[in-house]
Structures are given as C-alpha cells and as structure tokens.
Amino acid sequence: MRAILLGGGISLLISLLGTRVVISLFTQWGYGQEIRDDGPTSHHTKRGTPTMGGVVIILAAVIGYFAAKLITFTPPSASALLLLFLFVGMGLVGFLDDFIKISKQRSLGLRSKAKMAGQTVIALVFGWLALSPWLEDENGRTPASEKLSFLRELDWFVLPTILALLLIWLFVAGFSNAVNLTDGLDGLAAGACAMVFGAYMLVNIWQSNQFCQDVPSASCYNVRDPLDLAIIAAAITGACFGFLWWNASPAKIFMGDTGSLALGSALAGFAILTRTELLLVILGGLFVLETMSVMLQVGFFKLTKGKRIFRMAPIHHHFEMLGWEQVTVVIRFWIITGLFVATGLGLFYAEWVSKL
C-alpha cells in the first residue's frame, strides 16, 4: 500500500510542477496546436496553445512507478513492464503525430495508415508477450489470457491464440483512438481518464487482497501481479490530476495525441492484464459513447448521402453547437463518467460477494 501512495504522490507532484515548466518551454519553442477549420468557431481562439503535454503525463507516471519501487526495494514485475511498454510505445506514436502537425503547421499529422500501423505493431508485440509462456510466474500464470473476461475470466470462452491477439489489438487500438476522440474540450479526457484509472487502482487492490493462493476458491482472482499494476494505476491517476490543473478551462496546454493514445492504450492494457476486458466497456463508457457517435455520424452520412444525426461529431461538439458552454459540457460528461465508473465498480464488487 505504501508503494501505491508513493507512486501516485510522486507522479502527481512531477506532473503538477513539470507541466508548468513544459508550458513555458513549448511556448518558447512554438509548439502550438493547430485547429481544425471545420470545428466549432469558439475553438479558433485556442490556436497556438502548447500541445504534446502528454509527454509530462507519461514521464510523471513512469518516474512515479519506478521511484515507488526503488523506495520500497521491490523489483518491477513482468506485467508492469509490459503495461509501461504499451503506455510509452503508444505515446511515441502519438508524439510523432503531434510533431508532424507542429513542424508542418497543419491539423493533420501522421497519415491514417502509418498511424494505424504503429498502433498495430505496439499492440501485437504487447499481446504476444502478454500471452507468452516465457512470462509465466511460478504458478504458471501469464500476464494475459486466451479466455474472454468480464468481471473475471470466463472459463467457457477460450479463444485460439490468433483470435486472442486480434481481440487485444482491437481493445488497444479501439480505446487509444476513443480517448483521442474524447480529447476535444479542455480537461475532458484528462478528468475522465483520472476517474477510470482510479477505478482500476481499486480493482487491482481488491484483486491483490483476494489473490488465489495455494488453495484457490471460487471468489479469488487468478491474475498475475495485481499489486504492481495498482502502483501504475495510481501513478497514471496522479499524473492525470497534475496535468488537469493546467489543462482545465481555459487550457494552458493540451495533451495531444501523445497523451491520448498513451492513456487509451493503458486503459486497454489494464483491462487485459486484470482479466476485466468487457468491464472496461462500462468503466470507460464515455469513451465508447464518443466513438459510437462518430461511427453513427459517418455511417448515417454515407447512407443518406449528406444527412447528419448530430450537428457535429464526436458528440461533445454536438452539445457545443447547441449552445452549451464548454465548461458545462465537460462537467456533465465527467458526471456521466462517474456514473459509469460507479456502475462498473458496483458490478465488480457484487459479483465477488455473490461467490462467497
């Protein structure tokens, strides 16, 4: 528990203080955000606001985790290193996207195929290692499993390895892009992510307390390294809160694709490594709604040859176009996230109680 508090606290301080330094540096270097011409006109005033702030979130979380491990004299686990690989790797893909936008002074960075190729490589390497018998612990547990999971593994739903890899890719690519779509208003993605990562910190702590020992029971959790994953969850939560101090409206800095891709992939990583894949659909319900709004808008537009369901997608822009203040949209979407998180955690605990 001490390592969890240390990881979260150190990460929070680094993010809170480091973001202020990065704002000054990026402003000096001219690392400003380009704004879509077809977006809400109120966003044009944000042109030139420093971006790539996700660099601070990533560094703060990684330093917070390793500092906590160093202070408590405990080695990092295979699951934690895998998750950090996914987190940092997707952050690098996002960094390339952001850097191209800045250097070429345009709102589009990496080509869609190049971006998806980077996401696919990172996701598949993560999935292959997570399922690999090379990373089994002394009890034969690998970081991930071929079984589909909701609140825990579904023993009757075992996937072939190739399909398990495909599912991992789908979750990683899907949620990294979902958080990227959600990151369109000041503080929206950072605040929502902080809540969901906080939920996964609680899930990991609970799984650690109810860990399957030598005599497994129906209510115990057959996962690998839950306590170590809780430290990372606390570190990312702290990093998001520290960044949110400067990203809240009016934002002094944006996380960019560097942050949104890293955070979204980390959410998927937690779902996979904690054996709660389908639970993430509930905990991260806001990100699912944002993605579905884009899919519905594009599909309906093509089917009807020009008609729209929403005034603009993702759906947070629809409410802006209706005249809602940006802060109002953000706070209400945070409330929706809180309801999704409370529902997910309630289901997680209720399922454990039912097995006693």
| Contact in structure between 10 and 67 (CB atoms under 8 Å) | yes
- Per-residue 3-state assignment (H helix, E strand, C coil) for the chain: CHHHHHHHHHHHHHHHHHHHHHHHHHHHHCCECCCCCCCCHHHHHHCCCECCCHHHHHHHHHHHHHHHHHHCCCCCCHHHHHHHHHHHHHHHHHHHHHHHHHHHCCCCCCCHHHHHHHHHHHHHHHHHHHHCHHHCCCCCCCCCCCEEECCCEEEEEECCHHHHHHHHHHHHHHHHHHHHHHCCCCCHHHHHHHHHHHHHHHHHHHHHHCECCCCCCCCCECCCCHHHHHHHHHHHHHHHHHHHHHHCCCCCCCCHHHHHHHHHHHHHHHHHHCCCHHHHHHHCHHHHHHHHHHHHHHHHHHHCCCCCCCCCCCHHHHHHHCCCCHHHHHHHHHHHHHHHHHHHHHHHHHHHHHCC
**Binding-site residue ranges for Mg(2+):** 180, 257
What residues are paired with 32 via a beta bridge? 50
Distance CA 280, CA 286 (A): 11
Report the C-alpha gap between 108 and 133 in whole angstroms: 40
Tokens of 121: 């490589």
Q: Which residues are annotated as a binding site?
A: 180, 257
Are 19 and 246 contacting, i.e. CB atoms less than 8 angstroms apart? yes
Q: Are 123 and 82 in contact (CB under 8 A)?
A: no
Structure token digits, residue 147: 């079984």
pLDDT at 151: 95
pLDDT tens digit at each of 356 positions of the chain? 899 999 999 999 999 999 999 999 998 888 766 655 555 555 545 666 899 999 999 999 999 999 999 999 999 999 999 999 999 999 999 999 999 888 877 667 788 899 999 999 999 999 999 999 999 988 889 999 999 999 999 989 999 999 999 999 999 999 999 999 999 999 999 999 999 999 999 999 999 999 887 667 888 999 999 999 999 999 999 999 999 999 999 999 999 999 999 999 999 999 999 999 999 999 999 999 999 999 999 999 999 988 999 999 999 999 999 999 999 999 999 999 999 999 999 999 999 999 87
